[in-house]
Amino acid sequence: MGKIITMNQTKQRGGKRIGAGRKPGVKKARNKIARSITLHRDTWQMIESKRGEKSPSKYIESKL
């Protein structure tokens, strides 16, 4: 019959990977909340044409 091999006798897999795990800053609370808005296509086109180099979020935020 064949030899029975246990997990302890086989080559170990896994282990520590450099850079793996949570980063130190993850413990901090987020200061932004992810939301989405639904606007008519014409409204989005107007925002896109007027926002310039700003992101859509920054443009809308500047108008509030």
56 in a structural domain: yes
**What is the tens place of the pLDDT at every residue in 23-32?**
776 566 667 7
3-state percent helix, strand, coil for the chain, nearest multiple of 5: 40, 0, 60
Percent of the chain with pLDDT over 70: 66
Name all contacts of 22-26 with Cβ < 8 Å and 24+ positions apart. none
Give the number of domains in the chain. 1
pTM (2 d.p.): 0.47
Closest CA to 37 of 6, 10, 64: 64
Query: SS3 for 57?
Result: helix
**Structural domain of 56:** 38-64
Q: 39 by DSSP, 3-state: which?
A: coil
17 inside domain: no
Output the CA torsion 50→54→57→63 (10° steps).
Answer: -60
1 in a domain, yes or no?
no
The reported pLDDT for the residue numbered 34 is 81
Residue 62 lies in a domain: yes
